[in-house]
Structure 1
Amino acid sequence: MGTVFSFDLRDPVTPAVHRALKEAVAWLHHVDEVFSTYRPDSAISRLGRGEPVPERHGPEVAEVFALCEEAAHTTGGWFSHTPGGRLDPSGMVKGWAIERASQMLDEAGAHNTCVNGGGDIQSRGEAAPGTPWRIGIAHPTRPGELATVVTGRDLAVATSGTAERGAHILDPHTGEPATALASLTLTGHGLTQTDAYATAAFAMGAGARAWTAALAGHEALGITTTGEIWHTPGFPGGAVSPDAGRAPGERGVGAPGRAASVRA
Structure 2
Amino acid sequence: MSDTPRGLRHVEHVMGTVFSFDIRDPRTPAIGAALREAVAWLHHVDAEYSPYRPDSAVSRLARGETRPADCSREVRDVLALCEGAARVSGGWFSHRPGGGLDPSGLVKGWSIEHASRILDDAGARNTCVNGGGDLRLRGEAAPGRPWSVGIAHPLRPGALCAVVTGRDLAVATSGTAERGAHIVDPHTGAPAPGPASVTLTGPGLTLTDAYATAAFAMGDLARDWVASLDGYEAFAVLSDGIAWRTPGFPGTRVPQRDRRADGIALDVPLRESCR
Q: Normalization by structure 1: what TM-score?
A: 0.94
**C-alpha root-mean-square deviation of aligned residues, in Å?**
1.8
Match of 2:107 in 1: 93
Match of 1:262 in 2: 274
Matched, 1:220 2:220: no
Contact 2:227-2:246 at 8 Å conserved across structures? yes
Match of 2:16 in 1: 2
Match of 2:222 in 1: 208
Contact 1:43-1:53 at 8 Å conserved across structures? no
Choose from 79, 89, 94 the match for 1:75: 89
Choose from 208, 222, 228 the match for 1:194: 208
Contact 2:183-2:192 at 8 Å conserved across structures? yes
Match of 2:35 in 1: 21
Contact 2:200-2:212 at 8 Å conserved across structures? yes
Contact 2:150-2:264 at 8 Å conserved across structures? no
Choose from 234, 243, 258 the match for 2:248: 234
Matches within 5 A, 1:49-128: 49-52=63-66, 58-128=72-142
Shift of 1:250: 2.9
Shift of 1:244: 5.7
Contact 2:199-2:236 at 8 Å conserved across structures? yes
The one-letter amino acid of 1:131's match is R
Q: Normalization by structure 2: what TM-score?
A: 0.90
Distance 1:233 1:54 in 2: 40
Contact 1:147-1:244 at 8 Å conserved across structures? no
Matched, 1:177 2:191: yes
Choose from 39, 43, 50 the match for 2:57: 43
Matched, 1:164 2:142: no
Distance 2:262 2:79 in 1: 45
Match of 2:153 in 1: 139
Contact 2:169-2:203 at 8 Å conserved across structures? yes
SS of equivalent residue, structure 1 residue 63: helix
Distance 1:205 1:23 in 2: 38
Contact 1:36-1:42 at 8 Å conserved across structures? yes
Shift of 1:245: 8.6
Matched, 1:31 2:31: no
- Percentage of matched positions with identical amino acids: 68
Distance 2:231 2:258 in 1: 24
Number of matched residues? 260
Contact 1:160-1:185 at 8 Å conserved across structures? yes
Are the structure 2 counterparts of residues 199 and 144 from structure 1 closer, same or farther at C-alpha, using a change threshold of 3 Å? same
